[in-house]
Amino acid sequence: MSPSPVILILGGGKNVGASVAKRFAGQGYKVALVARNSQSTTNSENSMTISADLADADSLSHVFDRVEQKFGTPNVVVYNAASVKPVPRDDPLQLDVSDLNNDFAVNTASVLAAAKRAIQGFAKLPSEMNKTFIYTGNLLNIEVMPALVSLGIGKSATAHLVKTAAQAYGAQGYHFYYADERKADGSAAFMDINGPNHAEFYYELAEDKQQRPWWQTFVGGQGYKSFPVKLA
């Protein structure tokens, strides 16, 4: 008998994180949410919240341990946290190294830590169980927005990390995705990020038995879309 499906959501905000939690819970998943400002409490038999600062990659070990002790090994991990220190768009090199390091820790270094623990867990799960890691991205891995340079550095680095993992671990049945919501015309959805859209699409990815292209651009819950790449 296969264990119950478990999703771990790193970055449990009120929009995407909460929507993803609700969607997966409705499908019988046990849900663990991680947020920096949450109290570390267990809410119910099938859901829990954990307080952790994802600027500290070492905190991921404690997070995964807590989830495994309560629910078992997560077969779906969603990394939804992000950090950015805005700078003047006409002078982006005003960015302090210390601010870059903090943002990079959240946007990339802790993603690596989470992915490492995720695949350690995936290896323990039954072969017939889907195993999926999803990173909430945007178009900053290809576009330049000077005021958001630290976020763009992190998204670019993590896109490379996700692509590498998808290629390296695909044969083992581990699926990795960089998920990038867009508007219908292919432009960024920064000001119109839709939590239910992410929830629907993330559930679709998690339930797919096959690895799709590692970079998933999507509009609403409509699935993968191919947008022309524009390099600014």
As annotated, the active-site residues are 155
Q: How far apart are CA 194 and CA 179, in angstroms?
A: 13
Beta strands in 89-155 (DSSP E): 131-136
Q: What is the spatial order of strands in the sheet that 41-42 belongs to?
A: 41-42, 47-51, 30-35, 6-10, 76-79, 131-136, 174-181, 215-218
| pLDDT value of residue 93 | 97
| pLDDT value of residue 232 | 43
| pLDDT value of residue 186 | 87
Tell me if 204 sits within 8 A of 223, measured CB to CB.
yes
| pLDDT value of residue 45 | 87
Tally Cβ neighbours within 10 Å of residue 176: 25
Q: How far apart are CA 52 and CA 39, in angstroms?
A: 9
pTM for the model: 0.94
CA neighbours within 13 Å on the CB side: how many for 95? 23
| pLDDT value of residue 129 | 96
| pLDDT value of residue 173 | 97
54 alpha-carbon distance from chain centroid: 12
| pLDDT value of residue 207 | 96
Structural domains of the chain, ranges and CATH numbers in brackets: 6-224 (3.40.50.720)
Angle at 69 between CA 119 and CA 104, to 5 degrees: 45
Q: How far apart are CA 11 and CA 8, in angstroms?
A: 9
Angle at 1 between CA 68 and CA 23, to 5 degrees: 60
Specify the length of the chain in residues.
232
DSSP 55: T
Q: At what angle do helices 149-169 and 97-104 cross, to 10 degrees?
A: 30
Q: How far apart are CA 31 and CA 24, in angstroms?
A: 7
pLDDT per residue as tens, the chain (232 positions)? 678 999 999 998 889 999 999 999 999 999 999 998 755 555 678 999 999 999 999 999 999 999 999 999 999 999 999 999 999 999 999 999 999 999 999 999 999 999 999 999 999 999 999 999 999 999 999 999 999 999 999 999 999 999 999 999 999 999 999 999 998 888 888 888 899 999 999 999 999 999 999 999 998 767 777 776 654 4
